[in-house]
Amino acid sequence: MSVTGRALATTLVLCGLGAAACGGTTGGADPGQDRVPVPAAATTAQPATGEATGLAAGAASGSAPTPTAARKPLSGKIVVIDPGHNGQNYRHPAEINKQVDVLTQRKACDTTGTATANGYSEAAFTWDVSQRLDKILKSRGAKVVLTRANNNGWGPCITQRAAIGNKAKANAAISVHADGSGPANHGFHVIIPKKIGGPVDPVVKDSEKLGVDVRNALKRGTDLSYSTYIGKAALDYRSDLGGLNLSTVPKIFVECGNMKNPTEAAKFQQAAFRQKIALSLANGLQQYLTH
């Protein structure tokens, strides 16, 4: 190769490296609002070496290089979203009160959940947030599985909710809830499994990492405080929840706040705030899944 040819190839390689350094990904869109970028820590760029090599090869052959599409940050990841409760649970008391084995005790198949003072149900809240979270995660490349298809039925039982995550071989699973405590209590908390001598034991440490990442993202992305009435620094470790005890994949519950607290109840009924919660949960999941 002549000196001129070597100089041209070197220039092209350097340009390729510069292009790789500028690569990035786009976060999920907030319907009706401006697109929100993925946090810088979650941005994925193409490897500089591969891209530079492709450009140099194209120059040597005299053909134009083919650009490599940037991978979305959650490509290849499987996330299970479990929207707590169901909109018609209250119409099926016999079914949801059926006792099931959660290894540490027997519990009801499911419950109706709580509601705000003016009747906005936890089931409606969790379904809406989960739908928003689903869209954001898919926009980032994840495969998403929901434990229920709508908010117009009952169940599934807590044992089935765990089984859905296990069958999907999820990289992470999250159960979305809101609490129903005394009106003076406020703030969110994340529930993390304990070792129980059961199927959850191998994923307890990973579940804790997931819980901390989601806790941190929810704190950064909303104006919600850590729970003032349960857990320590918004982390609560439990061994009585079937959805966690029976999970073989990293899983957490997130109690997004207290629906009985007037201030938080008002926020939960705002679509923009539910979108903010969903985006924060997505960012926490992405932090866990990519680091």
Which residues carry out catalysis? 255
Q: Which helix (H) or strand (E) holds 255?
A: strand 251-258
Q: How far apart are CA 102 and CA 192, in angstroms?
A: 15
Residue 179, H or E segment: strand 172-179
Rounded to the nearest 10 degrees, the angle between the axes of helix 48-61 and helix 3-21 is 140
d(CA 153, CA 160): 15
| Count of other CB atoms within 10 angstroms of residue 178 | 29
d(CA 243, CA 221): 26
Closest to 198 (Cα-Cα) out of 275, 98, 105: 105
